[in-house]
Chains A and B, each alone.
Chain A
Amino acid sequence: MSMNSQGRPTSPSAPSAPPAIETVSGSRGLQQREDLIFETGSTTKTGVDLPTPKGGMDRLGGVTRKKSVGLPGLSEPEAVRHYVRLSQQNYAIDLGLFPLGSCTMKHNPRLNEKVARMPGFADIHPLQPQSTVQGALELIDQLATWLKTLTGMPAVAMSPKAGAHGEFCGMMAIRGALMARGEIETRTRVLVPASAHGTNPATAVQCGFTVDEIKADARGRVDMEDLKSKLVDSSDIAGIMLTNPNTCGLFETDIREIADLIHEAGGYFYCDGANFNAIVGRVRPGDLGVDAMHINLHKTFSTPHGGGGPGAGPTVLSEALADFAPVPFVVEEDGVYHLVEQRSGEGSDAFGRLCAFHGQMGMFTRALTYMLSHGADGLKQAAEDAVLNANYLQSRLKKVMTPAFDGYCMHEALFSDAFTAEGIETLDIAKAMIDEGYHPMTMYFPLVVHGAMLIEPTETESKAELDRFCESLLSIAEKAKAGDESLKGAPYLAPKRRLDETQAARKPELRWSEPDKIAAE
Chain B
Amino acid sequence: MTQFTQQTTFYTEDHEWVTVHGDLATVGITRYAAEQLGDVVFVETPEVGKTFKKGDEMAVVESVKAASDVYAPLSGEIIDTNSALADSPETVNEHPEGEGWFCVIKFSDGAETRNLMDKDAYFEFCKGQ
**Which residues of A line the B interface, CB within 8 A?**
198, 444, 447, 501-502, 505-506
Indicate if the CB atoms of B42 and A444 lie closer than 8 Å. Answer: no
Indicate if the CB atoms of A506 and B65 lie closer than 8 Å. Answer: no
Indicate if the CB atoms of B41 and A505 lie closer than 8 Å. Answer: yes
Tell me, yes or no, whether B39 is within 8 Å of chain A by CB: yes
Indicate if the CB atoms of B66 and A502 lie closer than 8 Å. Answer: no
Indicate if the CB atoms of B41 and A444 lie closer than 8 Å. Answer: no
Tell me, yes or no, whether B64 is within 8 Å of chain A by CB: yes
Per the CB 8 Å criterion, the residue count for chain B at the interface is 10
Indicate if the CB atoms of B42 and A505 lie closer than 8 Å. Answer: yes
Indicate if the CB atoms of A444 and B66 lie closer than 8 Å. Answer: yes
**Which residues of B line the A interface, CB within 8 A?**
39, 41-42, 62, 64-67, 89-90
12 A-B pairs with CB atoms under 8 Å apart are A198-B67, A444-B65, A447-B66, A501-B64, A502-B39, A502-B41, A502-B64, A505-B39, A505-B42, A505-B64, A506-B41, A506-B90
- The residues of A that contact B64 with a CB separation of less than 8 Å are 501-502, 505
- The residues of A that contact B67 with a CB separation of less than 8 Å are 198
- The residues of B that contact A198 with a CB separation of less than 8 Å are 67
Interchain nearest-CB distance for A429 vs B (Å): 14
Interchain nearest-CB distance for A97 vs B (Å): 24
Q: How many A-B residue pairs have CB under 8 A?
A: 18
Tell me the complex Cα distance, A198–B66, Å. Answer: 10
Interchain nearest-CB distance for B100 vs A (Å): 14
- The residues of A that contact B39 with a CB separation of less than 8 Å are 501-502, 505
Tell me the complex Cα distance, A169–B109, Å. Answer: 42
Interchain nearest-CB distance for A15 vs B (Å): 43
Tell me the complex Cα distance, A505–B64, Å. Answer: 8
Tell me the complex Cα distance, A447–B67, Å. Answer: 10
Interchain nearest-CB distance for A123 vs B (Å): 43
Tell me the complex Cα distance, A506–B39, Å. Answer: 10
Tell me the complex Cα distance, A182–B66, Å. Answer: 38
- The residues of A that contact B42 with a CB separation of less than 8 Å are 505-506
Tell me the complex Cα distance, A501–B89, Å. Answer: 14
Interchain nearest-CB distance for B13 vs A (Å): 12
- The residues of B that contact A505 with a CB separation of less than 8 Å are 39, 41-42, 62, 64
- The residues of B that contact A502 with a CB separation of less than 8 Å are 39, 41, 64
Tell me the complex Cα distance, A502–B90, Å. Answer: 9
- The residues of B that contact A506 with a CB separation of less than 8 Å are 41-42, 89-90
CB-CB nearest in chain B for A198: B67
Interchain nearest-CB distance for B118 vs A (Å): 25
Tell me the complex Cα distance, A502–B65, Å. Answer: 10
- The residues of B that contact A447 with a CB separation of less than 8 Å are 66
CB-CB nearest in chain B for A444: B65
Interchain nearest-CB distance for B29 vs A (Å): 16
CB-CB nearest in chain A for B62: A505
Interchain nearest-CB distance for B34 vs A (Å): 13
Interchain nearest-CB distance for B80 vs A (Å): 24
Interchain nearest-CB distance for A454 vs B (Å): 14
Tell me the complex Cα distance, A145–B42, Å. Answer: 46
Tell me the complex Cα distance, A505–B89, Å. Answer: 11
* Besides the known contacts A501-B64, A502-B64, A506-B42, 11 further A-B residue pairs in the complex with CB atoms under 8 A apart: A198-B67, A444-B65, A444-B66, A447-B66, A502-B39, A502-B41, A505-B39, A505-B62, A506-B41, A506-B89, A506-B90
CB-CB nearest in chain A for B41: A505
Tell me the complex Cα distance, A505–B62, Å. Answer: 10
Tell me the complex Cα distance, A506–B90, Å. Answer: 9
- The residues of A that contact B89 with a CB separation of less than 8 Å are 506
- The residues of A that contact B66 with a CB separation of less than 8 Å are 444, 447
Tell me the complex Cα distance, A505–B38, Å. Answer: 13
Tell me the complex Cα distance, A427–B89, Å. Answer: 21
Tell me the complex Cα distance, A198–B90, Å. Answer: 24
CB-CB nearest in chain A for B57: A211
- The residues of B that contact A501 with a CB separation of less than 8 Å are 39, 64
- The residues of A that contact B90 with a CB separation of less than 8 Å are 506
Residue among B41, B67, B89, B90 with max Cβ neighbours from chain A (10 Å): B41
Interchain nearest-CB distance for B70 vs A (Å): 14
Interchain nearest-CB distance for A19 vs B (Å): 37
Tell me the complex Cα distance, A444–B64, Å. Answer: 10
Pick the 5 closest A-B CB pairs, nearest first: A505-B41, A502-B39, A444-B65, A501-B64, A506-B41
Tell me the complex Cα distance, A198–B42, Å. Answer: 17
Tell me the complex Cα distance, A498–B41, Å. Answer: 18
Interchain nearest-CB distance for A189 vs B (Å): 14
CB-CB nearest in chain A for B93: A502
Interchain nearest-CB distance for B1 vs A (Å): 28
Interchain nearest-CB distance for B61 vs A (Å): 13
Tell me the complex Cα distance, A447–B42, Å. Answer: 18
- The residues of A that contact B65 with a CB separation of less than 8 Å are 444
- The residues of A that contact B62 with a CB separation of less than 8 Å are 505
Tell me the complex Cα distance, A444–B67, Å. Answer: 11
CB-CB nearest in chain B for A425: B38
Tell me the complex Cα distance, A447–B37, Å. Answer: 11
Interchain nearest-CB distance for A271 vs B (Å): 24
Tell me the complex Cα distance, A447–B41, Å. Answer: 18
CB-CB nearest in chain A for B42: A505
Tell me the complex Cα distance, A160–B74, Å. Answer: 42
CB-CB nearest in chain B for A506: B41
Tell me the complex Cα distance, A498–B52, Å. Answer: 41
Interchain nearest-CB distance for B109 vs A (Å): 22
Interchain nearest-CB distance for A378 vs B (Å): 38
Interchain nearest-CB distance for B52 vs A (Å): 14
CB-CB nearest in chain B for A447: B66
CB-CB nearest in chain B for A213: B69
Interchain nearest-CB distance for A502 vs B (Å): 4
Tell me the complex Cα distance, A198–B60, Å. Answer: 14
